[in-house]
Amino acid sequence: MRNTETLDESEYRKLEELRFQIRRFLNFSESAARSAGIEPQQHQALLVLKAVPDDCLPTIGYLAERLFVKHHSAVGLVDRLQAMGLLTRRTSAEDARQVFIQLTKKGIRVLHSLSVTHQTELREMSSRLTRTLRALNLPSKKKRSSSF
């Protein structure tokens, strides 16, 4: 499907500003993680594990899905986090192929510290981000209703 919508120069500037604000936050986040002694992807993994919904099992497969990585990459990530004492793993009693992962107290402390720092940064940048999103003024596309 070919996109025939046209954009003027100001729309490109608004899109670039949004990308800049997102990158600014991501840059902050990556620096904060490294300052805490972990890599950004390790921080993301800790956050995923802390936020697992009640109706979901914290498995390596779930972690891989949430981080958009291959299963074997998630295994390596879990290996490194376990070696750092930030999480534990246990094999399912029902299915030995399934491995459950859980944050340790140390992992929870590291994540908490990073999360408080991130909340502060988000509060400080929220007005810039809100202005940027409002400036985009993207109309939502309404679905056509079909009458049968």
pLDDT in tens, 105-131: 999 999 999 999 999 999 999 999 999
Whether residue 143 is contained in a domain is answered as: no
Domains in the chain, number: 1
68: left (phi over 0), alpha (psi -120 to 50) or beta: left
- The enclosing domain of 92 has a CATH number of 1.10.10.10
Position 148 pLDDT exceeds 60: no
Q: Report d(CA 140, CA 124) in Å as an integer.
A: 28
Whether residue 142 is contained in a domain is answered as: no
Position 40 pLDDT exceeds 70: yes
Q: Report d(CA 130, CA 110) in Å as an integer.
A: 29
Whether residue 5 is contained in a domain is answered as: no
Whether residue 34 is contained in a domain is answered as: yes
Q: Which of 129, 106, 133, 111 is nearest to 26 (CA)?
A: 129
Q: Which domain holds residue 107?
A: 13-135
pTM: 0.85
Three-state SS at 72: helix
